[in-house]
């Protein structure tokens, strides 16, 4: 266990559904991330929250909507997805400090999303 | 753009033997960090080893060591005395500091199978 949990672990949804992915970190970190992992492709960074403020929105379609209500929780709200959005969605957290190098990112187990 | 390339989609090794996974990168950063992450079949990604580019000495963590060739922008991972539990996807990553925070750029991964 890395101290980062994600729910649900598996999700099947239709293209007209609305669902949310949840991530929680128990490490006291100040930065959280959403990644998309598709087969045979590098991990794609989707969103970054630093001190609960979104600092990166990596050209992600608006059908993905992140929310970070506090430093321990991160959500990814999904609506009107497409079949090509089927992937493993990983959440990560890290402790970012001023002037130093990047700290290790701790990953959750992921949510396997299938869009039908 | 910053890129990370892993040229070996799949590798296999016999238990107790040594295997080397390749990684090359391209970065415009002056000070940067390189990472190897492991993602076992259970899917939770964990950090294996980390190298700070300004340090000439290669990082080691027990059976894991790196061969960091800065001029060649090469960062290979050597696993000695391979164990069945080393079976996993291995991702090479470099950091990019932008907008006041760090983000990781990942390669496409190498799937390693350790056989008895």
Mean pLDDT by runs of 10 across the 116 residues of chain A is: 92 92 95 91 88 76 93 95 95 78 85 94
- Tell me the two tokens of residue B33: 């960090």
Nearest to A40 among B35, B100, B108 (CB): B108
On chain B, the residues whose CB falls within 8 A of the CB of A90 are 45
Nearest to B43 among A1, A55, A110 (CB): A110
What's chain A's Rg over C-alpha atoms? 14
CB contact under 8 A, A105 and B104: yes
Distances (CA, A) of B69 to A47, A102, B32, B100: 31, 20, 14, 28
pLDDT in tens, B4-53: 999 999 999 999 999 999 999 998 887 889 999 999 987 789 999 999 98
Backbone angles phi, psi at B84, to 5 degrees: -55, -35
Helices (H), chain B: none
A12 forms bridges with which residues in the sheet? A114
Instruction: Write the CB contacts of A28 (distance below 8 Å, at least 6 apart in sequence).
Output: A71, A95
Residue of B nearest to A4 (CA): B44
Nearest to B106 among A2, A42, A104 (CB): A42
Mutate to test the interface with B, among A7, A53, A105 (most CBs of B within 10 A): A105
Distances (CA, A) of B14 to A70, B82, B110, B113: 46, 7, 16, 9
CB contact under 8 A, B46 and A107: yes
């Amino acid at each position: 266990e890395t101290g980062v949990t994600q729910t649900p672990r598996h999700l099947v949804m239709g293209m007209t559904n609305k669902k949310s992915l949840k991530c929680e970190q128990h490490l006291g970190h100040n930065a959280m991330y959403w990644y998309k992992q598709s087969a045979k492709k590098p991990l794609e960074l989707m969103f970054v929250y630093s001190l609960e403020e979104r600092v990166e929105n990596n050209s992600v379609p608006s059908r993905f909507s992140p929310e970070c209500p506090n430093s321990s929780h991160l959500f990814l709200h999904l609506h009107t997805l497409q079949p090509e959005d089927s992937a493993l969605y990983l959440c990560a957290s890290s402790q970012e400090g001023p002037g130093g190098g990047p700290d290790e990112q701790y990953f959750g187990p992921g949510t396997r999303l299938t869009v039908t | 753009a910053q890129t990370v390339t892993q040229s070996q989609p799949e590798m296999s090794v016999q238990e107790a033997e040594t295997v080397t996974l390749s990684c090359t990168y391209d970065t415009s950063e002056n000070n940067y960090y390189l990472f190897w992450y492991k993602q076992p079949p259970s899917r939770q990604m964990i950090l294996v080893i980390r190298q700070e580019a300004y340090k000439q000495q290669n990082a080691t963590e027990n059976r894991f060591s790196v061969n960091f060739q800065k001029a060649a922008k090469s960062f290979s991972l050597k696993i000695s005395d391979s164990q069945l539990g080393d079976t996993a996807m291995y991702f090479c990553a470099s950091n990019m500091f932008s907008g006041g925070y760090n983000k990781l750029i990942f390669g496409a991964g190498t799937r390693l199978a350790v056989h008895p």
